[in-house]
Structure 1
Amino acid sequence: MMLVAHDLKFVSESVLCLTIFSLAFLLTGISAQATNARRTQPKKPESVGELFNTSSCIPKPYRCPHPKIEFYLYTRRTQNNPELLNTLHPESLYYSQFNRAYPTKVVIHGFGGGRNLAPSTDMRDAYFANGFYNIIIVDYGSLVREPCLSQMDWAPRFCAKCIAQLVHYLSQHPRGVKADDIHMIGYSVGAHIAGLVANYLDPVAHGKLGRITGLDPSIFFYMGNNRSRDVDTTDAHFVDILHTGAGILGQWGPSGHADFYINGGSSQPGCTSDTLFNTLACDHTKVTPYFIESIVTKRGFFAYPCPSLLSFLVGWCDPKDEDYVLMGEHVSHNLNNRAQEQNTAVETFLFISGYINEILPNWEGTGEKFCSIRMLRIMLHCLLHI
């Protein structure tokens, strides 16, 4: 999917090739970054056993609600003074500014995030600039910082269990909303946590989440053998995924009802840096500005489908005007229905879950369409140097 831009700067073919075929080197870079981060911590684990001991990050008892996983409610009235929701006390929601008439968004940050850190703050501000919402930010920041990153196989599942308790709380409360009316937005590992919530919901008692938006879901869950840990189409009525660091820090394959591969999905303009790790981290984080802008933009990001990467590379995609779809906050939810009308399985929904050729912010006849064979050149370069 190509983004309209007048000044595109991309990483060199050799650098991108290295990122594709040298994941081990990437992990080494992440380890080095984590080591530097640990040096700034006031308290370091004294042994390897302590480092991998869950009690070093999540104190007992291991049950929800947990003080390390907090739910902050923001409304237009409480933008600067959020209300902490307690899922054990009905009066917590009853006396809050929660309004069931407004759309409800649950935001789950990623590695190193928090409720007072970007992109959570930027996303919150964008929604309130657009209208009235119930914004609930899940703050589990202490669980996704060193030395707790080593516990990422366990902590996200525990966090998802507590978020499922929040969904139950909202769906059973007389002033709350059903799960079908909740939109969860997860960035990086937060995208997979949003998907994991479904594992702890009873479809009869709670219903099913209305929508999950995954912002470049982390590859570190996607590479596991347990597919139930990855966000996919079974987790909500509608799942849309935006990819900007696919195959590097983000997962590669499509897993939603609609998958958008921005600028090809892996390398983003403006992300060339002096170090490989910073370049790749930039690609991964670029997804949030795209989604945040989609909340408030008057023009929107329009994309059209290609059935495969090969079709994209050789220019075989020939969309009609009615094929264009809107990416981001205001994406159409009937894409799944269109797939069923075409007798196409959701998993191979080529209308969207292929490689998107272009995003057209100026889809009013005023914008220029840009195409590129950059990905083809990169692939050829990689093949010649294997």
Structure 2
Amino acid sequence: MKVVFGLVVIGVSAILASPIDYDPEEWVLIPDSDYNMHLVNLSDVTFKKALAERSDFAMNFYLYTKKNSVTAQQIATGDASALRASNFDPKNPTRFIAHGWRQSHTSDMNADIRNQYLTRGAFNVFVVGWSAGSNTFDYVKAAANTMTAGKKLAAFIDFVVANGNLNTGDTYLIGHSLGAHVVGIGGKHVTKGKINTIFGLDAALPMFSINQPSKRLATGDALYVESIHTDGGALGFEEPIGNASFYPNYGNDQPGCGFDLTTGCSHSRSCTYFAESLSLPNEFLAAKCSGYSEITGKDCSIRGATTARMGGQPSNYGRGVEGVYYLPVNSKYPYATGSV
């Protein structure tokens, strides 16, 4: 698994430069081109962010099926002939996978999740290639580009509905880090039906606010939204942002990551867990907590608790799964413990 954010070090300079009256709504830690984290005043990057949100760049969609599990068929929005000539089958469930910052459609997380779906059965798996918007050292720009990428994803989904009879009711969107916000924004802007399920894999925190759900993954972006938190409060969101929010090991410092100064190991574990959940669909058992405070306090009572499984195929849509959940995980594969 490639680490999405790479080396993250909070330098002494950033700490010394921090304001005396720190306000998380005015200051944010973001990674720079050398992967060091720095405090930045949001007012200083607002204009750059606004410009990037209006930017345009090419996006590619790579289709994999049982018939072409290794070599993708590339389809562009509006190219109905390419869609008709492809192996896309509207009778099969469809899955979209979106990568994070400085990754591409060939990144490990795409292959891991794609292969697990195709091992499970007959699926249309589209890998969303938005590297033209994400493959930049400027994290602020990449974060803002999630808006454009999400809208382009929605346009492609509408195109496949209109020209390939895609069933949005049997379509899932899966995104990691910045990609989680891409699929969330995509779900918001689909006009031809409602997406069944969105999985947000440790949705990126820097430059995204709990108070701005219109610009990030949020409940309502699909019929069912599930967020999986593995590096909460650092590179990933800590607050629950889905119908159901799952917190392996209480959402941070994942077992087996050791002294994870970069937190990249914990951040990428969300992808590893999700991929495994597709092969062991009933093993990531989680206990429902009474509230988010039991996650932050790391004191979720599991005795007699309602249980649910994290990830998996099919999703938890329609099963009444909602709220926040804690689950233990192992330090190495298999990460699922099979119990709470």
Counterpart code for 1:231: L
2:226 paired with 1:240: yes
* 1:154-303 correspondence runs (5 A): 154-173=144-163, 175-202=164-191, 206-223=192-209, 225-273=211-259, 276=261, 278=262, 280-297=263-280, 299-303=282-286
Percent identity between the aligned chains?
24
Match of 1:15 in 2: none
More helix per residue: 1 or 2? 1
Match of 1:136 in 2: 126
The SS at the match of 2:274 is: helix
Match of 2:304 in 1: 319
The SS at the match of 1:253 is: coil
TM-score, normalisation: structure 1: 0.70
Counterpart CA distance in 2 for 1:157 and 1:250 is 18
The SS at the match of 1:304 is: strand
The SS at the match of 1:196 is: helix
* Structure 2: tracts of 5 or more residues without a match: 1-14, 16-21, 37-44, 331-335
Determine which structure has more spread, i.e. the larger CA radius of gyration.
Answer: 1
- Tell whether the 8 Å contact from 1:102 to 1:132 is kept in structure 2 after alignment: yes
Counterpart CA distance in 1 for 2:256 and 2:128 is 30
Match of 1:120 among 110, 129, 132: 110
- Tell whether the 8 Å contact from 1:305 to 1:356 is kept in structure 2 after alignment: yes
2:96 paired with 1:106: yes
Query: Aligned-pair distance for 1:217?
Result: 0.5
Match of 2:139 in 1: 149
Match of 2:19 in 1: none
Deviations 1:97-151, CA, capped at 9 Å, x for gaps: 0011211000011112111111111111111122111110011123222344331
Of 293-302 and 260-269, the range deviating more from structure 2: 293-302
How many residues align structurally?
304
**More relative contact order, 1 or 2 (CA 8 Å, 6+ apart):** 1
Match of 1:354 among 304, 312, 324: 324
Q: Cα gap change, 1:265/1:95 in structure 2, threshold over 3 Å: closer, same or farther?
A: same
Deviations 1:146-173, CA, capped at 9 Å, x for gaps: 3443313531111111111111111111
Counterpart code for 1:210: N
Counterpart CA distance in 1 for 2:281 and 2:294 is 33
Q: Cα gap change, 1:269/1:233 in structure 2, threshold over 3 Å: closer, same or farther?
A: same
Query: Aligned-pair distance for 1:199?
Result: 3.5
Match of 1:27 in 2: 29
Counterpart CA distance in 1 for 2:182 and 2:89 is 25
* Structure 1: tracts of 5 or more residues without a match: 1-17, 36-48, 339-351, 370-386
Query: Aligned-pair distance for 1:318?
Result: 2.6
More strand per residue: 1 or 2? 2
The SS at the match of 1:291 is: helix
Query: Aligned-pair distance for 1:90?
Result: 1.4
Counterpart CA distance in 1 for 2:50 and 2:289 is 44
Match of 1:69 among 44, 53, 59: 59
Match of 2:39 in 1: none
- Tell whether the 8 Å contact from 2:92 to 2:124 is kept in structure 1 after alignment: yes
